[in-house]
Each structure stands twice: as structure tokens, then as C-alpha cells.
């Protein structure tokens, strides 16, 4: 049964890999799906320019597959929505670090150079807050690197020499020179590294194993993992501020 | 407190510059966001749905949908026949601000309405579908909540019944809605209502961003529901359509 509750039609599965020669010049025709879902897909020839609209049944099947990609995209976007908070915090982190770093450094300096212990301890409060923000940014980026980046890694190519595949929909990724590639089918951002080129067999085996585990219901997805960087921001921030304050007060009491 | 009073001038300048920089950066970010989401303007959404603009400013961005300043009234409308049914997408909102100078009273009257509508060739018994557990900030209005003749009915699909509340008069309606609702299982904002020869979705301001991101899927769900009611082949299908339930 399919997602829409109907029996799987063998014609759709068989369409994969079936040649589509142009009736005009014999060259292979490409299936051109309009960006708009309501538009029927067409067969076009890049050589003689012949264009044929797919029959209604075939167009409906093609639309069904495009809809499936949209649903995969929607599910991924929903799951990864908390990362928008991370991106916003990270982007504004530069300004926070400039302001809080400068102000925190000055307050720390003030705390240690003042002769009055009461003022020094009070100054440590502000300095602890500022250090907390700096450490919060550090903790957030660390959590992203350790927890999220591995999840965004592209799938390895199905065979050596082929393109790496999208981590979300499995489609071929476009050739790029950077470490990130955006999937043309589902819009997922994929991280590319050397592992995808060198450990192909190991990665493919791991991928197959992962599917088997998922299919048997043995590995429920962790829906909270994309919230972890934002959580790390608060945890590292609070811990950093507390440690800075305690250490600072002790130093103030000893040195001042 | 000497520490609080004696902020050095260079530090003060750094803080002021960083604050102004942050403000400018956030404005640039908003502008870039609007530029990146040009496919979510009313005109672009209409094009994505295969509809033609009939009225209003097509550059109005539905993702960043703001009220204008002062008193105004705007209506945006697009219609067409992307599949086999006539479809209309329209939005209207207004602000009427009256200032009474002598009594120092300001009275503001606001209106807002946004609907996706699809005209069917045959009437259908009244029904309304919403998510069973919508997010607290994106709850759709229920246009038929006060109608006692509508009762919650099972669709026969446990996954759909767990996710949606289908209130209907005719027990044949919920099963016919299943293919349409399966298209919307990933959506956080769902409202489909139908009566007579019309299906519609009532979009709140909070629901607009969700609709603008996935307008094609909502339209396809509407078309699928209409075809399902009328016993026509579904627009995205792998097998034969279900039997008609239109009245």
C-alpha cells in the first residue's frame, strides 16, 4: 500500500530506468516537471525540441512522486525548525561577543583593580554575566558541531564515481566546490566531507543497517536533538557565569 | 559604585557602534529574508497555484504579512482553474482609525479574512476538518463549531483519525476525505470545510506563513477532496479513484 492508501501500481516502479526515445530523432527525452505542482510533466527532446505532455494517468503518477518529495521536505523542515533559532543566535553572536567581551573584560579589570572589595564583588556579577554569554556561544557551536553536523552529512554515492546523495531524499547532489551542497529535489542542506569519498563501502553498509533497524521499529528518532544547540547555549551560559563569578570572587577576596 | 560610573570612552564607543551595527544588520537580515522569500508574495503564490491575479498588490508578502499604517482597506484576489475545479484565493483586511481630538479617544476597527475556495460541480454534505492537537498559536477558526448537526465521525483510517477531527453530517464524507488529508499530514495548520458546492479553508494571520510555504499541497488536497467527492480520478494517484459521495 502507498501513503495515499492505494495499491502500488507496478507501472510507476517500472518507469525508473525505462528509456524514453524521441519519436522525432531517437535521442533520449527528458522528463521536465514544472515547478508548479498542478502543471503536468512533459517529455522534451534536447536535440529536435519535440515536446509531449504526459498522458493524464502518467502525469498524475508523476505528480504523486513530486508530492512525496514535498512531503519529505516538509517533514524535514518541521523537524529541523529549532535550528533557525541556532542560526539566528549564531549570526548575532558576533555583535554579542564584541559588546559583552569588551564590557566583560573591562568589568573584570575593574573588579581586580579596585581597592574596595564590595565594589569588586559587585563588578564580578556583571563580568560573570558577560563571560556567561561568551561561553554560551561557544557551547552552542560545540553542540552543533558534535550533534547536528554528523546528521547533515550527505549520503555516500551509490557506487564509486557517482554523485553523493542527499541525506533527506536520496537524490543525486549537484557537483559543488564547497563543503555544502543543497539538494535540487528537496532543498536539504548537505555537508560534504572526505568520508563520503573514501569510506563509501562502510557508509553504504551503515546506511543499509540503519534502514533495517528503522524498518523493524528499533530506533525511534530523537526529535529533541535539533533543540540541543539552543539548550547548550543556556546550560553553558549559566554554568560559565556561575563558575566565573565563584572563581572571580575567590580571586578578588585573595588578591584585592 | 566607581565600577559602574567610570566606563571608559573607547568602550562606550565600541558598545554604541556594535549596537548600531546590530540594528543595521537586523534590518538587512529582514530585507534579505523578504528577498529570499519572493515566492511567498501574493502574486507568486497565485502563480504557484496556477491562478491569475484579479485585484490588489501582488507584491504583498504573505510570510511577512504586516498591517499598514493608518486607515486603509486592501483586497487581494486571484482565481483560475489549475486542475478541474475553479479555485479562488482571496485576502482582505482593513484598519479604520478614528481619532476624536476633543475627547482624546482613538477608536480602531480592524477586519481580516483570507480564504482558499474551490467550487465543486456537485454539492457535498457539510463537514469541517481541523487538526486534533494544533499548536496553540496556529489554531484555525472553526466556521461550523456552533452547528449541532455536525458530529465527529471516523474516517476508517486510524492514523488520520488520530491526527484530525472530522465533523460531518454524512458518514460517507470522512472516508472520502482520507486521500486529501494524507497530503496534509505534515502541515501544522489544517482547516478544510465544505458545504453545498464549495470547499474552503479559513486562513488566520498566523496560518498564512504555513500556507504560503506549502500552497501547492493545500491546493492539491482541496482538488483531491473535490475529485474524491465527485468520484473523479484523483490528480495525484497510483490507482483507481474511490466511489463518489457527492449528494
Q: Apex CA B246: angle with CA B242 and CA B247, to 5°?
A: 145
Same domain, residue pair B16 and B108: no
> What confidence tier does B124 reach under pLDDT thresholds 50, 70, 90?
very high
* Burial of residue A39 (number of CB atoms within 10 Å: 0-12, 13-18, 19+): middle
* Burial of residue B194 (number of CB atoms within 10 Å: 0-12, 13-18, 19+): buried
The answer to the question of residue B95 being in a domain is yes
Same domain, residue pair B92 and B125: yes
Same domain, residue pair B136 and B34: no
A70, A102, A107 ranked by CB distance to B3: nearest? A107
| Low pLDDT (below 70) residues in chain A | 1-17, 33-35, 196, 218-221, 256
Task: Say yes or no for a CB contact (<8 Å) between B236 and A9.
Answer: no
**Cell numbers linked to B61:** 508578502
Same domain, residue pair B27 and B74: no
Q: What are all long-range contacts of B233-237, with beta carbons under 8 Å and residues at least 24 apart? A: B233/A56, B233/A57, B233/A60, B234/A4, B234/A60, B234/B179, B235/A38, B235/A60, B235/A63, B235/B83, B235/B84, B236/A4, B236/A60, B236/A63, B236/A64, B236/A67, B236/B183, B237/A4, B237/A6, B237/A60, B237/A61, B237/A64, B237/B179
- Residue-level length of chain B: 247
Task: Say yes or no for a CB contact (<8 Å) between B235 and A61.
Answer: no
Is the predicted pLDDT of residue B158 greater than 60, yes or no?
yes
B32–A contact, CB cutoff 8 A: no
B86–A contact, CB cutoff 8 A: no
The mean pLDDT value of chain B amounts to: 89
Q: What does the buried/exposed string (b/e) look like for B150-164 if buried means 16 or more CB atoms within 10 Å of the residue's CB?
A: beebebebeebbebb
**Structural domain of B31:** 9-38
Same domain, residue pair B32 and B46: no
> What confidence tier does B246 reach under pLDDT thresholds 50, 70, 90?
low
Higher pLDDT, residue A121 or B28: B28
Listed by start position, the domains of chain A span: 13-79, 81-153+193-256
β-bridge partners, B88: B79, B117
The answer to the question of residue B104 being in a domain is yes
State whether residue B196 is helix, strand or coil. Answer: strand
Same domain, residue pair B33 and B124: no
The answer to the question of residue B30 being in a domain is yes
Contacting residues for A217 by C-beta, under 8 A, at least 6 apart: none
Contacting residues for A214 by C-beta, under 8 A, at least 6 apart: none
How many helices (H) does chain B have, and how many strands (E)? 7, 7
Cβ–Cβ under 8 Å, residues A244 and A132: yes
| Cβ neighbour number for residue B246 with a 10 Å cutoff | 20
The answer to the question of residue B164 being in a domain is yes
B9–A contact, CB cutoff 8 A: no
Cβ–Cβ under 8 Å, residues A226 and A82: yes
pLDDT value of residue B239 = 53
Q: What is the mean pLDDT of residues B138-142?
A: 89
- Residue-level length of chain A: 256
Same domain, residue pair B19 and B141: no
Same domain, residue pair B24 and B83: no
The answer to the question of residue B143 being in a domain is yes
Cα B156 from Cα B153, distance rounded (Å): 9
- Give A231-243 as a DSSP string: HHHHHHHHHHHHH
Contacting residues for A232 by C-beta, under 8 A, at least 6 apart: A136, A139, A140, A142, A143
Cβ–Cβ under 8 Å, residues A71 and B185: yes
HSE value, Cβ hemisphere, 13 Å, CA-based, for A229? 24
The widest CA-to-CA distance across chain B, in whole angstroms, is 83
| Cβ neighbour number for residue A76 with a 10 Å cutoff | 19
Higher pLDDT, residue B101 or B65: B65
B27–A contact, CB cutoff 8 A: no
Contacting residues for B34 by C-beta, under 8 A, at least 6 apart: B61, B63, B64
pTM comes to 0.80
Task: Say yes or no for a CB contact (<8 Å) between A35 and B48.
Answer: yes
- Chain B, residues 146-165, CB within 8 A of chain A, namely 157
Q: What is the mean pLDDT of residues B95-124?
A: 89
| Cβ neighbour number for residue A219 with a 10 Å cutoff | 11
Number of A:B CB contacts under 8 A? Answer: 118
Same domain, residue pair B61 and B18: no
> What confidence tier does B3 reach under pLDDT thresholds 50, 70, 90?
very low
The separation between CA A224 and the C-alpha centre of its own chain, rounded to angstroms, equals 14
Report ipTM for this prediction.
0.74
Same domain, residue pair B79 and B21: no
> What confidence tier does B117 reach under pLDDT thresholds 50, 70, 90?
very high
The separation between CA A143 and the C-alpha centre of its own chain, rounded to angstroms, equals 13
Same domain, residue pair B19 and B108: no
Same domain, residue pair B158 and B201: yes
Cβ–Cβ under 8 Å, residues B179 and B228: yes
The answer to the question of residue B237 being in a domain is no
In this structure, of B95-99, B189-193, B218-222, the range with the lowest mean pLDDT score is B95-99
B38–A contact, CB cutoff 8 A: no
Cα B176 from Cα B234, distance rounded (Å): 11
A6, A38, A95 ranked by CB distance to B83: nearest? A38
pLDDT value of residue B1 = 45
Name the domain count of chain B: 2
Amino acid at each position: 500500500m502507498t501513503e495515499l492508501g492505494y495499491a502500488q501500481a507496478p507501472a510507476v516502479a517500472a518507469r525508473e530506468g525505462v528509456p524514453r526515445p524521441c519519436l522525432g530523432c531517437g535521442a533520449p527525452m527528458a522528463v521536465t516537471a514544472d515547478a508548479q505542482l498542478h502543471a503536468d510533466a512533459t517529455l522534451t527532446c534536447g536535440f529536435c525540441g519535440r515536446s509531449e505532455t504526459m498522458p493524464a494517468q502518467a502525469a498524475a503518477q508523476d505528480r504523486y512522486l513530486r508530492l512525496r518529495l514535498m512531503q519529505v521536505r516538509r517533514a524535514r523542515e518541521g523537524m529541523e525548525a529549532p535550528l533557525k533559532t541556532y542560526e539566528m543566535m549564531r549570526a548575532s553572536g558576533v555583535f554579542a561577543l564584541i559588546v559583552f567581551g569588551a564590557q566583560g573584560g573591562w568589568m573584570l579589570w575593574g573588579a581586580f583593580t579596585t581597592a574596595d572589595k564590595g565594589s569588586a564583588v559587585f563588578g564580578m556579577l556583571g563580568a560573570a554575566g558577560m563571560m556567561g554569554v561568551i561561553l554560551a556561544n561557544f557551547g552552542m557551536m560545540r553542540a552543533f558541531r558534535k550533534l547536528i553536523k554528523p546528521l547533515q552529512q550527505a549520503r555516500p554515492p551509490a557506487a564509486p564515481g557517482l554523485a553523493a546523495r542527499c541525506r533527506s531524499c536520496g537524490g543525486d547532489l549537484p557537483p559543488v566546490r564547497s563543503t555544502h551542497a543543497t539538494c535540487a529535489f528537496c532543498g536539504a542542506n548537505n555537508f560534504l566531507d572526505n568520508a563520503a569519498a573514501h569510506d563509501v563501502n562502510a557508509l553504504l553498509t551503515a546506511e543499509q543497517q540503519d534502514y533495517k533497524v528503522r524498518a523493524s521499529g528499533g530506533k525511534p528518532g530523537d526529535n529533541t536533538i535539533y533543540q540541543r544547540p539552543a539548550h547548550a547555549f543556556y546550560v553553558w551560559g549559566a554554568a560559565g557565569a556561575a563558575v566565573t563569578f565563584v572563581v572571580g570572587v575567590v580571586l578578588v577576596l585573595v588578591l584585592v | 559604585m566607581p565600577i559602574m560610573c567610570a566606563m571608559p570612552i573607547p568602550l562606550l564607543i565600541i558598545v554604541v557602534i556594535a549596537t548600531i551595527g546590530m540594528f543595521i544588520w537586523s534590518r538587512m537580515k529582514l530585507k534579505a529574508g523578504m528577498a529570499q522569500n519572493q515566492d511567498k508574495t501574493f502574486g507568486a503564490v497565485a502563480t504557484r497555484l496556477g491562478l491569475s491575479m484579479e485585484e490588489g498588490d501582488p507584491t504583498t508578502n504573505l510570510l511577512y504579512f504586516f498591517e499598514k499604517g493608518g486607515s486603509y482597506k486592501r483586497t487581494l484576489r486571484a482565481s483560475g482553474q489549475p486542475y478541474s475545479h475553479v479555485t479562488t484565493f482571496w485576502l482582505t483586511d482593513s484598519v479604520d482609525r478614528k481619532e476624536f481630538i476633543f475627547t482624546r479617544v482613538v477608536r480602531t476597527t480592524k477586519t481580516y479574512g483570507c480564504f482558499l475556495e474551490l467550487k465543486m460541480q456537485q454539492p457535498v454534505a457539510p463537514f469541517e476538518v481541523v487538526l486534533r492537537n494544533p499548536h496553540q498559536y496556529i489554531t484555525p477558526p472553526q466556521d461550523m463549531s456552533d452547528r449541532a448537526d455536525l458530529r465527529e465521525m471516523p474516517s476508517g483510517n486510524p492514523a488520520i483519525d488520530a491526527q484530525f477531527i472530522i465533523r460531518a453530517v454524512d458518514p460517507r464524507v470522512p472516508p472520502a476525505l482520507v486521500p486529501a488529508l494524507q497530503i496534509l499530514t505534515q502541515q501544522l495548520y489544517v482547516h478544510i470545510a465544505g458545504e453545498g458546492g464549495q470547499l474552503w479553508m479559513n486562513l488566520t494571520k498566523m496560518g498564512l506563513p504555513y500556507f504560503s510555504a506549502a500552497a501547492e499541497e493545500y491546493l492539491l488536497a482541496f482538488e483531491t477532496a473535490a475529485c474524491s467527492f465527485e468520484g473523479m480520478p484523483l490528480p495525484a494517484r497510483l490507482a483507481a479513484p474511490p466511489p463518489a459521495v457527492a449528494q
